[in-house]
């Protein structure tokens, strides 16, 4: 993101925000009093005055006025989105809002902002920017079409302006029906294989019509459709301003819209991906913004670690080979001789040897669990074993770079192939050296994917310089940012120094709305007896809550160990993470009476089920990050090297925040009621357990299963 110049102050902002939320700054709020509610009452569905929301809005208005950074922990029920959107809109400056989940992005764009436009009577514009891979790349579509045998002129009408060809044909008549995957009528396309490939025909039909290029318009497109990966507007494959479609490009248009908007909504993935693109020409899309609100900020460290790292994978090399073949086919470059095709085949061959070698090395290692998904830290022996194959792969990448550079009058997309090959070669060499002490080097496997990775051990400096310093004022907020009343942990992890702080307790009354059940006796969670005892407790609890529960596990291994016993013992419908996409499972859970969901990490946060459908959340163990994980172990090593205590400085605070997120799934509304349970006995048997107990929601504690029955009988 470009830097923004200093802004004139807007001294009236705090007063404006105070008027919206009712009462003067510093005045006591009067919850429930309509006269104090301001213009939001009536215009925003279910709005009710909340002191915490008003305090948060005023504090954010203040930081926008003064500049600087602020951490705001807003407990559940604060209504934090309105608390930051109102000052953002009234500031009359461009404000970036970044969230951790798609759900929250959509809530802000489709629900909160329209409601506020009505309520505030202020005209403003907003753009919802998705990640680049959600948009169609016109250049890649044209290359794909031409490589499949379509004529380069058949679908391209001359542009009246730039003299460059346009891919998109005139829009069809209004009465034409938009494409649907279920529509399997034969296509009468003029683009080669489109006649025989219904998905490609569908894509071309849609490409002629779409105004946004957003794949969401193709509602029933499978998430992992390989065809989409061939035409997605990823930064890797982008030609930037050298692209003949640059002006019509959907990403360019999205960026222009955002640059003219008052509110720009992104997610942390796009925020970090954008900041990680240092050259700007080939991928930067987020425009300069004066202020930023980073919601769900507890997720930022993980996302930044992912995007500011380096990864070379078999998928990335194969994608390069595939795109190179498309370019050869589209431009008839095979006439250049055999070298281009041969260089790609050679690259494929070297990549196969290298990545298979990594796989074999991993399987022969001492920590191999037989799992399809794991991460192992690389050591010098492992790297030495694979160095020769790695250097040969580097040489093959260099070969592709050279032959594509040497093409006479090379088209831009051929030069882009050379550039990508050179980038992958450089990154591979960095990974094989494994010598930068600021990075942790590891091998990750996921399905058929083999990823050689380097992640920054500390991202706090990167977050500060690449993200936070770009804005006049930044607010980082979440329901869980502090540990034992202190923001120290989050300040150090995110590089937020100095910063104002605000902590707002949950608006929910846990003393009335929930109870916390801790089993009186449980084996140590590391003992072989734990899974069986956990299954027994889960069954006992579910019988009393009549299902309606999330059972959140800290690992797939525990889920798998417990699942059969629970399935045998209860008659409630059971859904299991992995059986369907997350959104489908959630929808099934919401609409199935007495459902039980067995899940791991991806359901611990960002999941909202309001009402009776979710009346119980059970957590198996304290969610300590695995010390075997390469990034976790490297971070702990780094803290130990500077004389700190990794367990207390890193592991405990991280686990407390994760536990709070998991248990926070239960009460999402004033009328919600239910049972929280943590089966891990270390809460009471270990010295550190007290730190966890103090961080739990303030619900009455019980060790009696009968208390659960009584709670639901009330």
Q: Which is nearer to ligand SF4, 98 or 252 (CB)?
A: 252
Contact 669, 504 (CB under 8 A): no
Contact 79, 276 (CB under 8 A): no
Q: Which is nearer to ligand SF4, 19 or 255 (CB)?
A: 255
Please report the beta strands in 473-606, taking only residues with DSSP state E, as ranges in sequence order.
Answer: 473-478, 500-504, 514-517, 549-552, 574-576, 596-599
**Binding segment toward ligand SF4, per CB under 6 A, in 242-250, 264-272, 378-386, 478-486:** 242-250
Pick the closest to residue 292 from 315, 263, 316 (CA basis).
263
Pick the closest to residue 546 from 595, 610, 585, 599 (CA basis).
595
The least distance separating ligand SF4 from the CB of residue 139, rounded to whole angstroms, comes to: 4
Q: Which is nearer to ligand SF4, 74 or 266 (CB)?
A: 266
The size of the interface with ligand SF4 (CB under 6 A), counted in residues, is: 13
Q: How many other C-beta atoms can be found within 10 angstroms of the C-beta atom of residue 146?
A: 23
Which pairs count as long-range contacts for 149-154, CB under 8 Å and 24+ apart, including other chains?
149/191, 149/192, 149/193, 150/190, 150/191, 150/192, 150/194, 151/190, 152/330, 154/190, 154/191
Instruction: Tell me the C-alpha distance between 597 and 269, whole Å.
Output: 27
Burial class (CB in 10 A: 0-12, 13-18, 19+), 161: exposed
Q: Which is nearer to ligand SF4, 148 or 164 (CB)?
A: 164
The least distance separating ligand SF4 from the CB of residue 140, rounded to whole angstroms, comes to: 6
Q: Which is nearer to ligand SF4, 99 or 142 (CB)?
A: 142
- Round to the nearest angstrom and report the end-to-end CA distance of the chain: 55
Return the residue matching tokens 């929280």: 676
**Binding segment toward ligand SF4, per CB under 6 A, in 5-13, 132-140, 155-163, 666-674:** 132-140
The least distance separating ligand SF4 from the CB of residue 145, rounded to whole angstroms, comes to: 13
Instruction: Tell me the C-alpha distance between 136 and 268, whole Å.
Output: 21
The least distance separating ligand SF4 from the CB of residue 329, rounded to whole angstroms, comes to: 17
Applying CB under 6 A, which of residues 50, 94, 130, 245 lies at the interface with ligand SF4?
245
The least distance separating ligand SF4 from the CB of residue 270, rounded to whole angstroms, comes to: 14
Q: Which is nearer to ligand SF4, 140 or 375 (CB)?
A: 140
The least distance separating ligand SF4 from the CB of residue 219, rounded to whole angstroms, comes to: 22
315 three-state secondary structure: helix
Q: Which is nearer to ligand SF4, 60 or 324 (CB)?
A: 324
Instruction: Tell me the C-alpha distance between 88 and 314, whole Å.
Output: 43
Chain positions 175 to 234 lying near ligand SF4, rule: CB under 6 A, are 233
C-alpha separations of 59 from 24, 63, 71, 86 in Å: 13, 6, 10, 12
The least distance separating ligand SF4 from the CB of residue 130, rounded to whole angstroms, comes to: 13
Check residue 249 for interaction with ligand SF4 (CB under 6 A). yes
The least distance separating ligand SF4 from the CB of residue 240, rounded to whole angstroms, comes to: 6
DSSP sequence for 370-416: S-SSEEEE--HHHHHHHHHHHHHHHHHHHHHHHHHHTSTT--HHHHH
Applying CB under 6 A, which of residues 83, 96, 243, 321 lies at the interface with ligand SF4?
243
Instruction: Tell me the C-alpha distance between 443 and 519, whole Å.
Output: 39
Q: Are strands 514-517 and 674-678 parallel, antiparallel or unpaired?
A: parallel
573 three-state secondary structure: coil
Chain positions 252 to 271 lying near ligand SF4, rule: CB under 6 A, are 252
Tally helices (H) and strands (E) across the chain: 27, 20
Q: Which is nearer to ligand SF4, 244 or 531 (CB)?
A: 244
Q: In this structure, what token pair is assigned to residue 654?
A: 């991280």
Q: Which is nearer to ligand SF4, 234 or 605 (CB)?
A: 234
The least distance separating ligand SF4 from the CB of residue 268, rounded to whole angstroms, comes to: 22
**Binding segment toward ligand SF4, per CB under 6 A, in 184-192, 244-252, 289-297, 381-389:** 244-252
Give Dmax (Cα) for the chain.
82
Chain positions 135 to 154 lying near ligand SF4, rule: CB under 6 A, are 137-140
Q: Which is nearer to ligand SF4, 141 or 675 (CB)?
A: 141
Q: Which is nearer to ligand SF4, 145 or 245 (CB)?
A: 245
Applying CB under 6 A, which of residues 238, 270, 333, 596 lies at the interface with ligand SF4?
238
Check residue 251 for interaction with ligand SF4 (CB under 6 A). yes
**Binding segment toward ligand SF4, per CB under 6 A, in 133-141, 267-275, 388-396, 580-588:** 133-141
The least distance separating ligand SF4 from the CB of residue 164, rounded to whole angstroms, comes to: 11
Applying CB under 6 A, which of residues 246, 315, 556, 647 lies at the interface with ligand SF4?
246
Instruction: Tell me the C-alpha distance between 574 and 576, whole Å.
Output: 7
Instruction: Evaluate the CA torsion angle 47, 53, 57, 60 in order and state its sign.
Output: negative
Q: Which is nearer to ligand SF4, 243 or 599 (CB)?
A: 243
Q: Which is nearer to ligand SF4, 246 or 712 (CB)?
A: 246
Q: Which is nearer to ligand SF4, 221 or 249 (CB)?
A: 249
The least distance separating ligand SF4 from the CB of residue 134, rounded to whole angstroms, comes to: 12
The least distance separating ligand SF4 from the CB of residue 243, rounded to whole angstroms, comes to: 3
Sequence-separated (6 or more) residues with CB below 8 Å from residue 311: 427, 451, 452, 453, 454
Q: Which is nearer to ligand SF4, 94 or 245 (CB)?
A: 245
The least distance separating ligand SF4 from the CB of residue 167, rounded to whole angstroms, comes to: 9
C-alpha separations of 469 from 242, 612, 655 in Å: 30, 44, 29
The least distance separating ligand SF4 from the CB of residue 423, rounded to whole angstroms, comes to: 16
The least distance separating ligand SF4 from the CB of residue 234, rounded to whole angstroms, comes to: 8
The least distance separating ligand SF4 from the CB of residue 150, rounded to whole angstroms, comes to: 17
Contact code string over 312-341 relative to ligand SF4, x by CB under 6 A: ------------------------------
**Binding segment toward ligand SF4, per CB under 6 A, in 168-176, 249-257, 351-359, 604-612:** 249-257
Q: Which is nearer to ligand SF4, 166 or 401 (CB)?
A: 166
Instruction: Tell me the C-alpha distance between 406 and 336, whole Å.
Output: 10
Q: How many other C-beta atoms can be found within 10 angstroms of the C-beta atom of residue 199?
A: 17
Check residue 285 for interaction with ligand SF4 (CB under 6 A). no
Question: Residues in the site for ligand SF4, rule: CB under 6 A?
Answer: 137-140, 233, 238-239, 243, 245-246, 249, 251-252
């Amino acid at each position: 993101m470009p830097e923004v110049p200093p802004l004139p102050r807007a001294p009236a902002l705090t007063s404006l925000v105070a008027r919206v939320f009712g009462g003067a700054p510093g005045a006591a709020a009067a919850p429930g009093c309509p006269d104090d509610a301001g213009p939001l009452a009536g215009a925003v569905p279910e709005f009710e005055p909340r002191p915490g929301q008003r305090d948060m809005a005023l504090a954010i208005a203040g930081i926008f006025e003064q500049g600087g950074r602020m951490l705001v922990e807003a407990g559940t029920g604060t209504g934090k989105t309105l608390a930051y959107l109102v000052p953002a809109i009234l500031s009359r400056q461009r404000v970036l809002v970044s969230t951790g989940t798609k759900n929250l992005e959509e809530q802000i764009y489709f629900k909160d902002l329209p409601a506020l436009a009505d309520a505030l009577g202020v005209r403003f514009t907003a753009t919802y920017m998705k990640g680049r891979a959600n948009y169609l790349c016109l250049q890649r579509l044209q290359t794909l079409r031409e490589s499949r045998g379509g004529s380069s002129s058949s679908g391209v009408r001359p542009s009246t302006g730039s003299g460059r060809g346009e891919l998109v044909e005139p829009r069809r008549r209004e009465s034409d029906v938009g494409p649907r995957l279920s529509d399997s009528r034969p296509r009468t396309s003029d683009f080669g294989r489109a006649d025989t490939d219904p998905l490609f025909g569908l894509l071309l039909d849609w490409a002629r019509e779409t105004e946004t290029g957003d794949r969401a318009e193709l509602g029933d497109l499978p998430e992992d459709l390989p065809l989409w990966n061939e035409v997605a507007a990823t930064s890797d494959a982008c030609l930037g301003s050298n692209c003949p479609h640059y002006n019509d490009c959907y990403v360019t248009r999205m960026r222009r819209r955002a640059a003219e908007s008052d509110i720009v909504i992104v997610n942390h993935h796009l925020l970090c991906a954008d900041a990680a693109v240092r050259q700007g020409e080939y991928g930067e899309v987020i425009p300069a913004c004066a202020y930023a609100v980073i919601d769900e900020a507890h997720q930022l460290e993980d996302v930044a670690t992912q995007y500011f790292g380096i990864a070379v994978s078999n998928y990335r090399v194969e994608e390069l080979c595939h795109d190179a073949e498309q370019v050869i086919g589209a431009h008839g470059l095979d006439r250049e001789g055999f070298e281009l095709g041969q260089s790609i085949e050679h690259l494929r061959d070297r990549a196969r040897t290298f990545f298979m070698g990594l796989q074999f090395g991993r399987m022969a290692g001492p920590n191999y669990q037989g799992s399809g998904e794991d991460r192992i830290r690389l050591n010098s022996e492992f790297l030495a074993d694979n160095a020769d194959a790695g250097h040969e792969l580097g040489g093959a990448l260099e070969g592709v770079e050279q032959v594509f550079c040497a093409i006479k009058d090379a088209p831009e997309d051929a030069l882009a192939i050379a550039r990508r090959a050179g980038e992958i070669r450089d990154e591979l060499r960095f990974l094989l050296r494994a010598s930068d002490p600021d990075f942790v080097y590891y091998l990750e496997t996921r399905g058929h994917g083999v990823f050689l990775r380097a992640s920054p051990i500390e991202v706090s400096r990167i977050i500060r310089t690449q993200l936070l310093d770009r804005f006049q004022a930044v607010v980082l907020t979440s329901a869980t940012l502090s540990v034992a009343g202190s923001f120290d942990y989050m300040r150090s992890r995110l590089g937020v120094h100095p910063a104002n702080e605000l902590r707002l307790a949950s608006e929910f009354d846990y003393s009335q709305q929930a109870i916390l059940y801790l089993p009186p006796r449980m084996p140590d969670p590391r003992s072989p007896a734990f899974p069986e005892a956990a299954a027994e407790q889960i069954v006992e609890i579910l019988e009393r809550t009549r299902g309606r529960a999330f059972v959140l596990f800290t690992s797939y291994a525990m889920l798998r160990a417990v699942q059969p016993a629970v399935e045998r013992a209860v008659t409630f419908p059971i859904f299991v993470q992995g059986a369907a996409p997350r959104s489908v499972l959630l929808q099934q859970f919401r609409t199935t009476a007495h459902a039980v969901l067995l899940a791991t990490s991806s359901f611990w946060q960002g999941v909202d089920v309001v009402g009776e459908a979710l009346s119980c959340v059970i957590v198996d163990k304290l969610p300590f990050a695995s010390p075997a994980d390469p990034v976790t172990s490297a971070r702990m090593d780094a803290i130990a090297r500077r004389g700190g205590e990794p367990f207390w400085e890193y592991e405990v605070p991280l686990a407390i925040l994760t536990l709070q997120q998991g248990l926070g799934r239960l009460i999402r509304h004033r009328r919600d009621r239910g049972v929280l349970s943590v089966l891990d006995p270390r809460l009471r048997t270990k010295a550190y357990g007290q730190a966890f107990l103090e961080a739990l929601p303030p619900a009455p504690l019980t060790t009696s299963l009968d208390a659960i029955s009584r709670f639901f009988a009330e």
